[in-house]
Structure 1
Amino acid sequence: MHTPNLSPKPGVGLGLRRGLLSDLQAAPAGDFDFLEVAPENWIGIGGAHGAALRALAERYPLSCHGLSLSLGGSAPLDVAFLHEVRGFLDHFNVPLYSEHLSYCSDDGHLYDLLPLPFTEEAVQHVAARIRQAQDILGRRLAVENVSYYAAPRQDMDELTFTNAVLREADCDLLLDVNNVYVNSINHGFDPQAFLAGIDAGRVVGMHVAGHFDQSDTLKIDTHGASVKPVVWSLLSEAYARFGAQPTLLERDFNFPAFSELVAELQIIRGLQAAEVNRG
């Protein structure tokens, strides 16, 4: 099948959610540039949904963002699943596969992204699993910084831990700008300093999303609301630091009119264009 390639220029994307499927199929060219899929939700899917995936993949490049690899978990990596993912990535010519810098399984699937201890032991453990995954996939893996609300143990801060994993595993970073902001409020650090401290050459894409203001000192990452002005501002700063990387607008539920999502994508385009013009 013909599969388009992700453009080297900045782009904007949306997640291929079944609640958005009809809008994505009907969208005119130019509303978005790529679609992100969770491979475990689409591998082996047939019928109408499988046909819709194939049709959209002929119009738009795909990016993949996994949900269940559990890079920080204690159980062995699911090698059979990784081989399935590799087949999916190869079939659809997917240039970017990312997963969460967290764990989501123990004896079984825990259905949540749980925080890792920020320790040297965890750095070595996660990095070894990322290297194993990259070997099986035959390509680099990007990990995403996650939001977290409890810290199991912190011998180092999140920035130091993240950089250590990236270097030890020799992998890339999918920078979630909303998660940087949410964690900065919940755990009391400077989000600008976090961006400034990340290894610039590791960032290969970005996520931006809405969150819920539980209080002045507690923010909840929801993916169910529009992006807040403070996060747009931080996205602009991220572009200044890392360049105008391909950026996904995450919206997983509570979908507004599609035109509202397109309006947010246009904000991303404007910020990207401003950075390109500065450059």
Structure 2
Amino acid sequence: MVKTNNLVGLGLRREMLDEFCTKVPDQINFFEVAPENWMTFGGKFGRQFRELTEKHKFFCHGLSLSIGSPEALDIEFVKQVKSFMDLHNIDTYSEHLSYCSGKGHMYDLMPIPFTEEAVHHVAARVKQVEDIIERPFILENVSFYAAPGAQMDELEFVNAVLDEADCKLLLDVNNIYVNSINHGYDAKEFLREMPTQRIEYIHVAGHYEEDVDLIVDTHGADIVEPVWKLLRDCYEIHGVHPTLLERDFNIPSTDELLVEINQIHAMQNVQLDHNKRSA
């Protein structure tokens, strides 16, 4: 099957169900959901969700797997995710290259120490997850605000994990921009060093500017021009890949969301046209 790359998706929220069960705009090519937020739903919400998954393409993007946790992997949770994906015929499962649990659950994505030990630890757990879900497991580069115990930089760490785990990458363009401001590096150069062959799909989102040198990754605002520019750079450097608009709160109407979705489509088409002319 030939992979279609010029797709644009949207994160599905419960409050969108009534609208999208009536009609999904043509510009929305796939939906993304956090499995832990949906796999316990029954009743009306469960029926509506099943109606959508039977008709539309879905990706799973988890929140609480905690791939970098020092505690043992939650095998039962991973089995539940597999059952959810099997039920809804979902092939794509991604998670954050971070952790959110130790002796308890912290409800935040914490930075994994950038060390060789952590590389080996995460890579082994990735293989463990893949054995259970019987699908490729995809890791997302994350925003972070401190790097405790770092023995390498973020770029070295991300690439080392991807190489040892031999897994795919969910490339989050906004996270690169956020980290470039907060930690003082060149976002385009970081982007250029990401492994093209491992990119499965892309996230793009808005953020909150706390100060001139502090940005918080919120997914609660419109995308700003420097992030749009970095997405254009991403398509130019790595080619066009399916791209998801993340909007987790302050969610506007669908018509307003379609403005940014249409902008992503337009950028993809410009790059694809350029590629055809250059071929």
TM-score (norm 1): 0.95
The share of aligned pairs that are identical, in percent, is 51
1:224 corresponding residue in structure 2: 220
Q: Please give the secondary structure, in 2, of the residue aligned with 1:99.
A: strand
User: Which aligned segments of 4 or more residues in structure 1 are displaced greater than 6 angstroms?
Assistant: none
Q: What amino acid does structure 2 have at the position aligned with 1:109?
A: H
The Cα offsets for residues 131-180 of structure 1, whole Å up to 9 and x where unpaired, read as: 11111111111101111111112211111100000000011100010000
Instruction: Find out whether 1:81 has 2:77 as its counterpart.
Output: yes
Q: Which residue number corresponds to residue 114 of structure 1?
A: 110
Equivalent residue of 1:20, what SS? helix
* Mapped partners of 2:15, 2:231: distance in 1: 26
Aligned residue type for 1:261: L
What is the identity, as a one-letter code, of the residue corresponding to 2:202? M
Task: In structure 2, give the amino acid aligned to 1:193.
Answer: E
Between stretches 11-20 and 219-228, larger displacement belongs to 11-20
Number of equivalent positions: 275
Matches within 5 A, 1:33-182: 33-182=29-178
1:191 equivalent in structure 2:
187
Q: SS at the partner of 1:148?
A: coil
Distance 1:53 1:6, change over 3 A: farther
Structure 1 residue identity aligned to 2:111: P
Letter in 1 for 2:134: G
Q: Which runs of 5+ in 2 are unaligned?
A: none
Distance in 2 (CA, whole Å) between partners of 1:202 and 1:182 is: 22
SS state at 1:143 partner: strand
Q: For 1:98-150, what per-residue CA distance to the aligned partner results, in whole angstroms no more than 9, with x for missing partners?
A: 00000000112110000011111111111111111111111111101111111
Determine which of 7, 10, 31 is the counterpart of 1:11: 7
Match of 2:244 in 1: 248
Per-residue deviation, 1:7? 6.0
CA deviation after TM superposition for structure 1 residue 251, in Å = 0.5
> Aligned to 2:95, what secondary structure does the other structure show?
strand
Question: For the residues of structure 2 that align with 1:29 and 1:255, how far apart are their CA atoms?
Answer: 17
Q: Given the alignment of the two structures, is residue 237 of structure 1 paired with residue 198 of structure 2, yes or no?
A: no
Q: CA deviation at 1:246?
A: 0.6
**8 A Cα contact 1:23 1:258, kept in partner:** no
The aligned amino acid for 2:198 is: R
Structure 2 length normalisation: TM-score? 0.95
Q: Deviations over 1:223-277 (max 9, x none)?
A: 1111111101100111112211111100111111221101100000011111111
* 1:257 aligned residue (253, 259, 265): 253
Distance in 2 between the 1:220 and 1:209 partners? 12
Checking the alignment, whether the CA contact within 8 Å between 2:17 and 2:49 is kept in structure 1 is no
Tell me the distance in 2 between the aligned counterparts of 1:96 and 1:123: 23
The answer as to whether partners of 1:6 and 1:95 remain within 8 angstroms in 2 is no
Partners of 1:171 and 1:117 lie apart in 2 by 19
Tell me the C-alpha RMSD between the 2 structures.
Answer: 1.5
Deviation at 1:196, TM superposition (A): 0.9
* Secondary structure in structure 2 of the residue aligned to 1:249: strand
Q: Is the 8 A contact 1:6 1:61 kept in 2?
A: no
Which of residues 9, 20, 24 in structure 2 aligns to 1:24? 20
Helix, strand or coil at the partner of 2:266? helix
The question of whether the paired residues in 2 share the 8 Å contact of 1:13 and 1:249 is answered with yes
